Chain A
Amino acid sequence: MLLMEHNIKLPEGSIEKQTTTLNLGPTHPATHGVFQNILELDGERIVSAVQTVGYIHRAFEKLAERRPLYQITPITDRLNYCSSPINNMGWHMTCEKLLNVKTPKRVDYLRIIIMELARISDHLICNSIVGVDSGAYTGFLYVMQSREHIYEIYEEICGSRLTTNIGRIGGFERNFNATAFNKLEKFLKEYPKVLKEFGDLFLRNRIFMDRLQKTGGISAERALSYGFTGPNLRAAGVDYDVRVHSPYCSYEDFTFEIPVGNTGDNYDRFLVRDQEMWQSLSIIEQAYKKVQEFKGAEAEVFHAEVPEYYLPKKEDVYTKMEALIWHFKIIMGETAIPSGEVYHSVEGGNGELGFYFISDGGRTPYRLHFRRPSFIYYQAYEELVKDGMLSDAIITMSSLNLIAGELDA
């Protein structure tokens, strides 16, 4: 049973004698995911909140102990499923760190394009759902169309829309063809108008601002103590971004700004995410220009030369014996993996997504632990909503960008 008091006695002079218990249960309107809050309310004011998670616990960490490296990629997809390429690439980069694989520059730039598209996709969902929860459904419909364009770009490269399983250890499975670049150019031309229109609907909207400002705020010290990372921490005033702090995948070659808020309330989080989308757009444009500078043979490079860990070409797998054997061995994990412990983190849509990988030289990891940002900052929810109104608590929950798959793993 949960350790909480129900029907807390209220002090003299209050309207009610004791608090009301409200179960903001696992199934709630607005497709955030399944987590439960048991709130003690004094009228509409929240006295205490206890969270229950685990309604979608799928035992990823135990499952990963059973699967060789390539078979873990589909699991990492389903962590933060709004931006699954970031999870996939984070996992592949962790493996590359363990296996000491260096990726060529073109691969890094292509990876950055895909990761920033995923970040845009994640922030679009979060911001539009904040709009839906405060009653503004239109923004959601506008931006879902842009997400469809992003999905089309993923489809050109890996074949799948949402849970992408994109990339390999060392690069990509195929070179980006002309259609992919055409779609990317079309996206880069049309998306700024959509984002501007979305901003015009919300950013200086009197009702929206009044609803979101001064609710769900947290100070920088408390946020750091609670382990916040990502846009939530940046809204509280700390400019910690893994892309800048410990650059991975050639992020140091790009210039971009990190938007930082001051009060950490819901409006700051909305603004930080909105600004991050503009920054991601600028990174994609820079990366695209850099990719176009590769000419000739260099433009055909889309993976590192590591035949022990990179799956061979499908045409060879179907026709040649050695390629078939390599493919089988790599997928089933029969290639040699050094033993060691590695921790690698990437800047996911929600913050620092970390992979703690202990290998004992066998086929499968000895232990794989995901450092999931949503799980860590959901603890702070009570502090964010205490003494606030119930309707603000709903908006706080959606502006934190809690993804259930990442929360429960």
Chain B
Amino acid sequence: MRPVRFNINAKVASTKDAIGQAPPGFEGEGFFTTKMSEVVGLARKNSLWPLPFATSCCGIEFMATMASHYDLSRFGAERVGFSPRQCDLLMVMGTISKKMGPVLRQVYLQMAEPRWVMAVGACASSGGIFDTYSVLQGIDQVIPVDVYVPGCPPRPEAIIDGFMRIQDLVGEESIRRRNGDQYKALLNSYGIE
């Protein structure tokens, strides 16, 4: 019997991850002050509107994630939009081939700031099992990616975990990030002005 190393101590439920936690601030009678970025982040992360860019098998697991068993709308992502102008989070699910690359880039360019990108599945992260002439080896060849969710296909719990990582990123983002030099340099490295 191999000795078990993980998950052997009971986990204590902590309220640190709870959505209803107020950000650190100064409180008084009838008022509460905190940083602007905290409030904005809190509002944004609990009402992300995803754009499911589902191309293949991972799209079916996304459908299972949106369905009632693994409900993604618990996290505020009830309203999936298919118009990039209206969405915050681009979830790329499935293999992106070289023919599809320009289409993906066009969709990304149409999104308004602030925008986040999640690569779901092995094919979107790195080409997956398809190391062939026609498959783009990872969507980070064409657009900048924030969170990668590995798996082939990833279980709905993994997709939800990736979504929660995006929520962490959204909640802690500085307001000035999108105008800063580092972000501009990142976009320039992809050829996006």
Direct contact of A and B (CB under 8 A): yes
Q: Interface digits, B49-87 against A, CB 8 Å rule (1 contact, 0 not)? A: 000111111011111100111000000000000100000
Question: Is the C-beta of B183 less than 8 angstroms from some C-beta in chain A?
Answer: no
Chain B residues lying within 8 Å of A34, measured Cβ to Cβ, are 55, 100
Question: Is the C-beta of B182 less than 8 angstroms from some C-beta in chain A?
Answer: no
Q: Looking at the complex, which one of A28, A55, A148, A162 makes contact with B153 (CB distance below 8 Å)?
A: A162
A148, B69: Cβ atoms closer than 8 Å: yes
25 of the cross-chain contacts (CB-CB < 8 Å) are: A26-B100, A26-B103, A27-B82, A27-B103, A29-B82, A31-B60, A34-B55, A55-B99, A56-B55, A56-B56, A56-B95, A57-B97, A58-B97, A63-B130, A82-B60, A144-B64, A144-B67, A145-B68, A147-B64, A161-B64, A162-B153, A163-B152, A404-B55, A404-B56, A408-B97
Chain A residues lying within 8 Å of B103, measured Cβ to Cβ, are 25-27, 55
A33, B133: Cβ atoms closer than 8 Å: no
Q: How far is the CB of A239 from chain B (nearest CB, A)?
A: 30
Q: How far is the CB of B79 from chain A (nearest CB, A)?
A: 12
Q: Interface digits, A143-163 against B, CB 8 Å rule (1 contact, 0 not)? A: 011011001000000000111
CB contact list, A5-31 vs B, under 8 A: 25-29, 31
Q: Looking at the complex, which one of A28, A140, A163 makes contact with B57 (CB distance below 8 Å)?
A: A163
| Complex alpha-carbon distance, A33 and B69, angstroms | 23
Chain B residues lying within 8 Å of A162, measured Cβ to Cβ, are 57, 60-61, 153
Answer whether A163 and B153 are a contact pair too, CB < 8 Å, given A33-B55, A55-B103, A144-B63: yes
Q: Looking at the complex, which one of A28, A54, A59, A148 makes contact with B82 (CB distance below 8 Å)?
A: A28
Q: Looking at the complex, which one of B54, B67, B152 makes contact with A140 (CB distance below 8 Å)?
A: B67
Closest residue of chain B to A405 (Cβ to Cβ) is B56
Q: How far is the CB of B62 from chain A (nearest CB, A)?
A: 7
| Complex alpha-carbon distance, A31 and B152, angstroms | 18
B134, A59: Cβ atoms closer than 8 Å: yes
B107, A58: Cβ atoms closer than 8 Å: no
Q: Interface digits, B30-65 against A, CB 8 Å rule (1 contact, 0 not)? A: 000000000000000000000011111101111110
Chain A interface (Cβ < 8 Å from any Cβ of B): 25-29, 31, 33-34, 54-59, 62-63, 74-75, 77-78, 81-82, 125, 140-141, 144-145, 147-148, 151, 161-163, 404-405, 408
Question: How many of chain B's residues touch chain A, expressed as a range?
Answer: 20 to 34
Q: Looking at the complex, which one of B82, B99, B152 makes contact with A57 (CB distance below 8 Å)?
A: B99
Question: Is the C-beta of B21 less than 8 angstroms from some C-beta in chain A?
Answer: no
Answer whether A145 and B53 are a contact pair too, CB < 8 Å, given A56-B97, A59-B134: no
Closest residue of chain A to B67 (Cβ to Cβ) is A144
Q: How far is the CB of B151 from chain A (nearest CB, A)?
A: 10
| Complex alpha-carbon distance, A63 and B134, angstroms | 11
Q: Looking at the complex, which one of A27, A28, A78 makes contact with B56 (CB distance below 8 Å)?
A: A78
B133, A59: Cβ atoms closer than 8 Å: yes
CB contact list, B7-45 vs A, under 8 A: none
Chain B residues lying within 8 Å of A81, measured Cβ to Cβ, are 56-57, 60
Question: Is the C-beta of B155 less than 8 angstroms from some C-beta in chain A?
Answer: yes
B153, A33: Cβ atoms closer than 8 Å: no
Question: Is the C-beta of B4 less than 8 angstroms from some C-beta in chain A?
Answer: no
Chain B residues lying within 8 Å of A25, measured Cβ to Cβ, are 103
Name the residue among A27, A141, A408 with the largest chain B CB count within 10 angstroms: A27
A145, B69: Cβ atoms closer than 8 Å: yes
Q: How far is the CB of B89 from chain A (nearest CB, A)?
A: 15
| Complex alpha-carbon distance, A290 and B52, angstroms | 43
